[in-house]
Amino acid sequence: MPGGDDPLFRDGELAVLGRISTASNLTLVCDIATADPDTPLRVVYKPVRGERPLWDFPDGTLAGREVATYRVARALGWHTVPETILRDGPFGPGMVQRWIDTTDHADTLDLVDLTPAGVVPDGFREVLRAVDPSGTEVSLVHSEDSRLRRLAVLDVIVNNADRKGGHALQGTDGTVYGVDHGICLHTENKLRTVLWGWAGEPVPDDLIPDITGLIKELGGELADDLATHLTDPEITALTDRARRLLDDPVMPHPDTARPIPWPAF
pLDDT, tens digit, for every residue of 232-260?
A: 999 999 999 999 999 999 999 998 778 98
Q: What are phi and psi of 41, to 5 degrees?
A: -90, 115
Q: Report pTM.
A: 0.94
Domain membership flag for residue 68? yes
How much is the pLDDT for 2? 42
Question: What is the average pLDDT score of the chain?
Answer: 93
Q: Is 89 inside a domain boundary?
A: yes
Q: Give me the percent of the chain exceeding a pLDDT of 90.
A: 85
Helices (H), the chain: 7-11, 62-76, 146-158, 208-218, 221-226, 232-247
b/e map 56-86, b = 16+ CB within 10 Å: ebeeebbbbbbbbbbbbbbbbebbbbbbbbb
60-80 pLDDT tens trace:
999 999 999 999 999 999 999
* Size (the chain), residues: 265
Q: pLDDT tens for residues 141-160?
A: 999 999 999 999 999 999 99
State the pLDDT at residue 3.
47
In a domain, 39, yes or no: yes
Q: What is the pLDDT of residues 14-42, one digit of tens each?
A: 999 999 988 889 999 999 999 898 899 99
Say if 5 falls within a structural domain.
yes
25 DSSP 8-state letter:
S
pLDDT tens for 84-105 read 999 999 999 999 999 999 987 6
Domain residues for 16? 1-99
pLDDT score of 5 more than 80: no
In a domain, 88, yes or no: yes
106 vs 84, higher pLDDT: 84
Residue 264 lies in a domain: no
Diameter over CA atoms, the chain = 53
Residue 1 covered by a domain:
yes
What is the tally of structural domains in the chain?
A: 1
Round to whole Å and give the CA distance between 209 and 79.
16
Q: Is residue 92 part of a domain?
A: yes
pLDDT at 4 over 80: no
Q: What pLDDT was estimated at residue 223? A: 96
- The answer to whether 14 touches 30, Cβ cutoff 8 Å, is yes
Banded pLDDT at 134 (limits 50, 70, 90): confident
Category of 21 on φ-ψ map: left (φ > 0), alpha (ψ -120 to 50) or beta: alpha
